[in-house]
């Protein structure tokens, strides 16, 4: 069995298949944004383009990385996902009117573990399987056999087998943050097809309609591939012969989110609410990216020294997609798991901790953490003598 090496960048829209795409190169040789590796490793680099379909408006990041799922690169990288709307998901499941005493609960990734615990308790479900099938991206490479035929990545095979072999009448399957990381229509369709076997999929995804119409670009990460909006999700679901019900959710602690249930038990009377702003159909993300690059360029004169605080996707994406090549910057993070690792970017001034770092010779600091963490960091670096400008991902003042 041979793993596929790489593939060409697709020239057609993931959603409608048309080839009239507006395109911006994000990078020719970039590592995945979670690829903090050991120094001796030499991980494979990939090309990434940001495209917008001139026909249907679909936005995607295209890559020559053949992984079907652009999940994290290493197990020690973990993220927290929002939990605020768990009760709303509970209501959605209740509205399906399925026999919960004859139901099993399944997870797709570790990101589903909190929700699965919540639902198990609320519904008193006896069969719960907690697996991290999303695991790391190496398990999502399609396999080529000796006859040069492609077959499903092993991680997908394991996931589907788990659901298909459940003895329960209903299977509730949690697929948090799955859709925008899926890099293959075969993957999306195999998961949606589970609905034919009485699976009910609970999903969430960033609310890209909202984000496209906001003033930020900080959601552009190379591990996000398809920036699906509600109409596009509805179309995918319809194409696979099932139904979905979804809602937009926003709170102070969460970036705008779409969550919902995909199930054959949803009544055909249910209609997806249309987008609030018709402009989202043609998001000007490529213009915005060039404007943001120009903004950072003029904010940083040639003798600037920039400290990028936060080595999560946002900080890495700032370095990968936005900053000019000659910017003198360092990268900073206090996460223990990242200590001693080589980051996916090569900061000319190195990769350091935030705490105890002396920023006094720096002209600028970019804070790419959450706002809550930023408000804790700012007084500390000011107290330690930093007098320069503090900016966020979008080059807005945080002072």
Which residue ranges make up the site for Zn ion (CB under 5 A)?
13, 15-16, 53, 55-56, 58
Burial of 16 (0-12, 13-18, 19+ CB in 10 A): middle
The continuous run of DSSP H or E covering 63 comes out as: strand 59-63
Spatial neighbors of 323 by CB under 8 A, at least 6 apart, are 296, 300, 306, 329
- In whole angstroms, give the CA distance from residue 169 to residue 104: 8
- Indicate the residue among 55 and 122 with the shorter CB distance to Zn ion: 55
| Least distance CB 316 / Zn ion (angstroms) | 28
- In whole angstroms, give the CA distance from residue 319 to residue 315: 7
Q: How many C-beta atoms surround the C-beta of residue 47 within 10 A?
A: 17
- In whole angstroms, give the CA distance from residue 256 to residue 363: 33
| Least distance CB 293 / Zn ion (angstroms) | 25
- Indicate the residue among 59 and 175 with the shorter CB distance to Zn ion: 59
- In whole angstroms, give the CA distance from residue 98 to residue 95: 8
| Least distance CB 24 / Zn ion (angstroms) | 16
| Least distance CB 347 / Zn ion (angstroms) | 36
CB 248, CB 260: distance < 8 Å: no
CB 215, CB 284: distance < 8 Å: no
- How many residues are given for the chain? 399
Q: Is the torsion defined by CA of 22, 287, 369, 259 positive or negative?
A: negative
Q: How many C-beta atoms surround the C-beta of residue 12 within 10 A?
A: 14
| Least distance CB 185 / Zn ion (angstroms) | 13
- In whole angstroms, give the CA distance from residue 195 to residue 127: 18
Q: How many C-beta atoms surround the C-beta of residue 149 within 10 A?
A: 8
Output DSSP code: residue 248.
E
- In whole angstroms, give the CA distance from residue 123 to residue 363: 55
- Indicate the residue among 109 and 184 with the shorter CB distance to Zn ion: 184
| Least distance CB 235 / Zn ion (angstroms) | 11
| Least distance CB 228 / Zn ion (angstroms) | 12
| Least distance CB 19 / Zn ion (angstroms) | 9
CA neighbours closer than 13 Å in the CB half-sphere of residue 386: 24
| Least distance CB 10 / Zn ion (angstroms) | 12
């Amino acid at each position: 069995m041979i793993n596929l090496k790489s593939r060409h960048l697709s020239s057609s829209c993931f959603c409608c298949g048309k080839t009239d795409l507006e395109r911006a190169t994000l990078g020719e040789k970039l590592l995945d944004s979670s690829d903090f590796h050991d120094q001796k490793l030499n991980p494979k680099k990939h090309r990434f383009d940001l495209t917008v379909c001139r026909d249907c408006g679909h936005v995607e990041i295209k890559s020559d990385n053949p992984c079907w799922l652009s999940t994290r690169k290493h197990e020690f990288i973990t993220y927290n996902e929002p939990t605020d709307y768990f009760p709303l998901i509970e209501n959605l499941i209740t509205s399906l009117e399925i026999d919960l005493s004859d139901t099993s609960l399944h997870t797709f990734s570790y990101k589903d573990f909190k929700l699965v615990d919540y639902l198990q308790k609320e519904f008193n479900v006896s069969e719960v399987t907690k697996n991290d099938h999303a695991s790391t991206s190496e398990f999502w490479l399609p396999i080529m056999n000796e006859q040069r035929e492609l077959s499903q990545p092993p991680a997908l095979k394991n996931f589907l087998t788990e659901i298909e072999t459940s003895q329960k009448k209903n299977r509730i399957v949690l697929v948090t943050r799955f859709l925008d990381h899926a890099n293959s229509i075969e993957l999306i369709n195999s998961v949606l097809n589970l609905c034919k076997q009485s699976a009910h999929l609970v999903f969430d995804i960033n609310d890209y309609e909202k984000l496209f119409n906001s003033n930020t670009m900080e959601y552009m990460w190379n591990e996000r591939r398809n920036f699906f909006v509600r109409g596009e999700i509805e179309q995918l679901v319809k194409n696979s012969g099932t139904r979905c019900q979804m809602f937009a959710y926003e709170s102070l602690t969460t970036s705008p989110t779409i969550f919902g249930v995909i199930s054959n038990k949803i009544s055909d009377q249910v209609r997806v609410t249309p987008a609030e702003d018709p402009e989202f159909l043609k998001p000007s993300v490529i213009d915005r990216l060039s404007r943001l690059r120009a903004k950072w360029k003029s904010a940083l004169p040639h003798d600037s020294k920039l400290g990028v605080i936060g080595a999560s996707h946002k900080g890495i994406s700032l370095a990968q997609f936005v900053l000019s090549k000659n910017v003198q910057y360092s990268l900073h993070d206090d996460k223990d798991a990242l200590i001693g690792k080589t980051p996916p970017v090569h900061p000319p001034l190195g990769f350091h901790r935030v705490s105890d770092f002396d920023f006094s010779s720096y002209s600028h600091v970019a804070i790419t953490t959450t706002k809550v963490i930023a408000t804790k960091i700012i007084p500390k670096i000011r107290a330690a003598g930093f007098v320069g400008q503090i900016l966020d991902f979008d080059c807005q003042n945080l002072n």
